[in-house]
């Protein structure tokens, strides 16, 4: 379902554009399907170093796919939103690593605070990620239901 948002992002050049389209998509998804819940999957991407970014993206996508099969409401992760093509167009991805990570944390904080996300799924090793820690703190602050996912989900 969330792969359907990618066409709306074909001209996005900033995180602001992506946020605007994603929030609109979340609102439509919630209203169109009568969903009272939408879940977001958080986890480690960059914190292991750039050499592990792609393998961490794959794991995050795999966790999201497994969770979709278990729960009866829409669930997505950043992998569903940010293809390599989208990353390559974003102005923020030309910034230093520190600036880029801060912009990404602010982006996800605003998405979580948009009022459309009800549940957050914290995947294994999330504690090692600055971004996932920020998402966890935001979820606690605004009262999202927090699920802690175990390593065993991928082997189930």
Structurally, the chain folds into a number of domains equal to: 1
CB 23 within 8 A of CB 107: no
Read off the pLDDT of residues 24-61 as tens digits, 9 standing for 90 and up: 999 988 887 676 899 999 999 888 888 888 999 999 99
Confidence (pLDDT) at 9: 87
In Å, what is the CA distance from 6 to each residue of 61, 111, 149? 15, 16, 26
Cβ neighbours of residue 3 closer than 8 Å, sequence gap 6 or more: 80
Query: What is the CATH number for 54?
Result: 3.40.50
Q: What is the mean pLDDT of each run of 10 residues along the chain (156 residues)?
A: 78 94 90 83 88 91 94 92 90 91 95 96 95 97 96 74
Q: Domain containing 91: what range?
A: 2-155
């Amino acid at each position: 379902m969330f792969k359907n948002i990618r066409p709306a992002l074909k001209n996005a050049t900033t995180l602001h554009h992506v946020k605007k389209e994603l929030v609109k998509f979340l609102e439509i998804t919630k209203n169109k399907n009568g969903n009272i819940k939408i879940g977001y999957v958080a986890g480690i991407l960059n914190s292991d170093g750039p050499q592990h970014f792609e393998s961490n993206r794959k794991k995050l996508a795999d966790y999201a796919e497994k969770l979709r099969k278990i729960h009866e409401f829409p669930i997505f992760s950043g992998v569903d939103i940010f293809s390599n093509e989208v990353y390559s167009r974003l102005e923020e991805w030309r910034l230093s690593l520190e600036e880029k990570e801060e912009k990404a944390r602010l982006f996800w904080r605003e998405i979580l605070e948009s009022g459309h996300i009800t549940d957050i799924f914290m995947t294994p090793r999330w504690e090692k990620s600055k971004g996932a820690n920020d998402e966890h703190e935001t979820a606690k602050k605004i009262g999202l239901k927090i699920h802690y996912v175990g390593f065993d989900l991928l082997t189930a």
